[in-house]
Amino acid sequence: MTEETAAHDTPRLPTQYAPGEVEDRLYQRWNAAGYFEVDPKSGNPPFSIVIPPPNVTGALHLGHAFGHTIKDALTRRARMRGFEALWLPGMDHAGIATQTQVERHLATTEGKSRHDLSREEFVQRVWDWKHEYGGKILGQMRRLGDGVDWSRERFTMDDGLSRAVGTIFKRLFDDGLIYQAERIINWCPRCQTALSDIEVEHRDDDGELVSIRYGDGDTSVVVATTRAETMLGDTGVAVHPDDERYRHLVGRTIELPLTGRHIPVVADEHVDPEFGSGAVKVTPAHDPNDFEIGQRQNLDAVEIMDERANVTAHGPFEGLDRFEARPAVVAALRQQGRIVDEKRPYVHAVGHCSRCDTVVEPRLSQQWFVRVAPLAKAAGDAVRDGRVRLHPPDMAARYFDWVDNMHDWCISRQLWWGHRIPVWYGPNGEMVCVGPDEDPPTGEGWYQDSDVLDTWFSSALWPFSTLGWPDDTDDLRTFYPTSVMVTGYDILFFWVARMMMFGLYAMADRGPEESVPFRDVVLHGLVRDKHGKKMSKSRGNAVDPVDWMDTYGSDALRFTLARGANPGSDVPIGEDWVQGSRNFCNKIWNATRFALMNGAKVSAVQAGDDSSGALPPSDQLSTADRWILSRLHQVVAEVNTAYEEFHFARLCDTLYHFAWDEVFDWYVELSKTPLQHGGAEAENTRAVLGHVLDVTLRLLHPVIPFVTEELWLTLTGEESITVAPWPRADTRLTDVDAEGTIGELRDVVTEVRRFRSDQGLKPGQRVPARLHFDRPLLVGFEEHIRNLTRLTEPADGFSTTTAVEVAGVRVELDLSEAIDFAAERNRLEKDLAEAEKHRASAEAKLANSSFTSKAPESVVANVRAKLTETEAEITRINNQLAALPKS
RNA sequence: GGGCGCGUAGCUCAGUCGGUUAGAGCUCUCGGCUUACAACCGAGCGGUCGGAGGUUCGAGUCCUCUCGCGCCCA
């Protein structure tokens, strides 16, 4: 087969990459081939990532797409490196969100509330709903190209994970780390359930500060409150023990307006005498601080609101919502002349339900708690000891602050959808915690606790429950601890801290090193809009990632996100940038297309090796070949370093610039000359071109899996890039001389192009020129220079009208058209001024004896070299200026 | 109130251990369909690195103060 026919036999690729025709086909192929399914007994070193489970009700948003891109890149690279690489998918059951969704569905379709059904019937409806509507995100993960092991998909409510939940609950209960208590908890009156502290978001809201006079005459104090309606539940007034103003009142009672009750005045250290009047009302049943005071001072706790935050007593106020009761109570007090002062608006922090944004009501109730102190200590120590590394490391401060000051975790939820608390109560006040493999007590009067567990309780088990725990499975033995946890820094406490607590506790028998749930935690930023603003529906700047995947392809979205992933900072993203990434994919497509049309060759890519072994020996290669190979293998090393530092932005940027600025703009252009010559020269170029593209595609594959696979299959004829070996840096290919030579060549070409552009010559216009080489370095590159700058051989009658000189090459041109001497003089004068500035700077440094004596020798030598270079440059420019006719 | 982070080109961001002339993407200007690619090519414009002071031979980089912004916690 001749070279010419080889070129024609290569598959014809369209001139544009069309992701829509490629992505689905490749994803199905990968799954059919089972590339993402792992074998715990393969003997390969394990690598594992568990996805922080997305919500079963949710749809893919850019935050998911971002995290998934990172996870997929890490897993794909590990797989290529020969690891048994598991990325385990799944979802959590999202107790509140899912129950709310199904209740709404039930109301709109059947006009029923869940209370019209039995608990069992309702839970069945939730499962039905899940099967019909849930898990939309799983399909979207396929769009994104996630290389997950679908055969291991898990759900927090499935049998195995439910058993894990029951097992750990029982263990914690028996160890005294789970207890039941009556406490003030955060109550969401809309969701009708308790919430944990971190499910409450504090926000400054406009409110009011009302000062109320309690009691009369000598026995009166003024208290200020933002929640006037709670005064109905006051059972005391507290002052600081050292506060002279109120000393006479301590121990006496005072009349509580509107109620006719008399309440004691107590002294409590907790009171800040500087704030307001120095006296505070105490409502133990409706405020956490007041609850504490109440406990210390033996005050009653009077509940005045029901679970919907409606007032339950006190005549005219009964039945009013808390926000209706507030002005009503103020009005009544005002009528009695008891309002001393009112501030509106009064800005203060108000807790909101993170799920539905309803203002949270502190409520006294019986709940289940995890005693976190010992667990949190262990979770903190694992990071302090370096057994778990946080990236970026400054996040550790926030992490320690949390685990070292954590309050006990309220884990009971008043819902029907979730893991029901495995505690039974007996007719004589018995309480029995039942393990998952035990039978609950039966008989008259026994019943199970009606609450379910916080969804995060089951999510916290995810790194081991999904691998089969509590059974000692092959998966668990092989893949635990998992390698990396990738998640947004906003849920450091929700996921990471709790997974740490439970992982260390449940797997403690493995010892300190092996009980951690993961070795590295990568905390990525949040995706924001193109101006760095938070995306939200209300702002109207939210973007559906699926739209961008439809328009630009999944690779374009992934590359944009990964390229924005600077450690520790948020990721702004705009459509322009996705478009730019699409353009990059298309550029790769066309460069490979060029290579294929010119018969680029890739020898078999051996497992564990790369194709550089099959390249011609370096003494047969051209300088351009040696240059690009040298650069290629530096890039391999740089990409590996960036991966090890989880620095995705840098690795993407490195690959982007290497591929576009070096391979496509220069090597491909330089390859056209030898390819045209044919023969051994062309053969070598084909081999190098093929190798460079092969390796570059493999380096890019973890981030942009689709376009790289499509091209790589065509280029190599191999099975799949997903199981191709990860490139290894071959330092033997380093060639500093070749890099220097090509660097100078680029300078010459760029300078001539700049001259042409300044002179208004059309890019395609051929211009006769004569080249002189003052130095031997670029002597062999005349043809390359002519091709890249559109300079033709001088014909008869050639006469030099002007010249450009750089890097020891003098390019004399014959411009029959009138030359724009003024433009050229401007250009040269500008360059001269720049060069003189540099000379002055270098001279100043060298004249400074402190500098020459104290700075390292290499730095001084650099400045000396710079000065020499600059002086030569100045001479050259002056010569050229002198040669210009006076205009 | 406590803690953390950020201010670098019109916009969004890099900038390693303090060391040669501070970079990128997008935007903008000029010229081009140069048979891989107009989703492209070539050339160019654009920055006293928030401000002040200090350390140093040398500061975008280290220290202090200050102004502005963001986040977490209370």
Q: Residues A404-444: pLDDT tens digits?
A: 888 899 999 999 999 999 999 999 989 999 999 899 998 88
Q: Which of A272-276, A515-519, A608-612 has the lowest mean pLDDT?
A: A608-612
Q: Would you say A785 and A749 are in contact if contact means Cβ atoms under 8 Å apart?
A: yes
> Strand, coil or helix: what is A546?
helix
| CA A358 to the chain's CA centroid | 28
Rounded CA-CA distance A278/A725 in Å is: 72
Phi, psi angles (nearest 5°) of residue A676: -70, -35
Is A848 within 7 A of strand B by CB distance?
A: yes
CB proximity list for A133: less than 8 A, separation 6 or greater: none
Above 90 in pLDDT, residue A547? yes
DSSP A341: E
State yes or no: pLDDT of A614 exceeds 90: no
Nearest CA-CA partner of A382 in A481, A507, A513, A523: A513
Count of residues making up chain A:
887
The three-state secondary structure class of A332 is helix
Give pLDDT tens digits for A456-504.
999 999 999 999 999 999 999 999 999 999 998 888 888 889 999 999 9
Residue A854 contacts strand B, CB under 7 A: yes
Q: Which nucleotide is nearest to A754 (CA to C1')?
A: B43
Q: How confident is the model at residue A607 (pLDDT cuts 50, 70, 90)?
A: very low
Is the pLDDT assigned to residue A399 strictly greater than 70? yes
Q: What is the C-alpha separation between A689 and A622, in angstroms, rounded?
A: 12
In this prediction, residue A609 carries a pLDDT of 54
Nucleotides of B under 7 A from a protein CB: 2-6, 11-15, 19-21, 24-27, 30-34, 36-45, 56-58, 71-74
Residue A509 has pLDDT above 90, yes or no: yes
- Give the whole-angstrom CA distance, residue A589 versus residue A563: 19
CB proximity A202–strand B (7 Å threshold): yes
Would the annotation count A601 as a binding residue? no
For residues A585-609, give the mean pLDDT.
82
- Walk me through the domains of chain A, giving residue ranges and CATH numbers: 193-362 (3.90.740.10), 567-734 (1.10.730.10), 756-883 (1.10.287.380)
* A851 CB contact with strand B at below 7 Å: yes
Spatial distance between the Cα atoms of A885 and A201, rounded to a whole number of angstroms: 75
Tell me the CA–C1' distance in angstroms for A799 and B30: 29
CB < 7 A to strand B: residues 472-511, chain A: 490, 493
CA of A466 to C1' of B1 (A): 43
Spatial neighbors of A506 by CB under 8 A, at least 6 apart, are A168, A171, A461, A464, A469, A470
Q: Average pLDDT for residues A662-690, to the nearest whole number? A: 92
Subset of residues 727-766 in chain A with CB less than 7 angstroms from any atom in strand B: 750, 753-754, 756-758, 760, 762-764
Q: Which of residues 277-316 of A touch strand B (CB under 7 A)?
A: none
The band of A288, judged by pLDDT with boundaries at 50, 70 and 90, is confident
Q: pLDDT-derived band of residue A8, with 50, 70 and 90 as boundaries? A: very low
Distance A508 CA to B51 C1' (A): 54
In whole angstroms, B8 C1' to A533 CA is 20
Cβ contact A486:A70 at 8 Å? yes
Residue A718 has, within 13 A of its CA and on its CB side, a CA count of 22
Give the pLDDT confidence score for residue A843 in this predicted structure: 83
* Range in A80-89, A579-588, A844-853 with the lowest mean pLDDT: A844-853
Strand positions, DSSP E, A454-530:
482-488, 518-524, 527-528
- What pTM was computed for the model? 0.91
Pick out residues 563-582 of chain A having their CB under 7 A from any atom of nucleic acid strand B. Answer: 566, 568-570, 572, 576-577, 580, 582
| CA-to-C1' span, A589 to B26 (A) | 22
What does the mean pLDDT of chain A come to?
Answer: 88
pLDDT at A689: 93
Residue nearest to nucleotide B34 (CA to C1'): A764
- Cis check: omega of the bond before A345, within 30 degrees of 0: yes
Q: Tell me, in Å, how far CA of A731 is from C1' of B42? A: 34
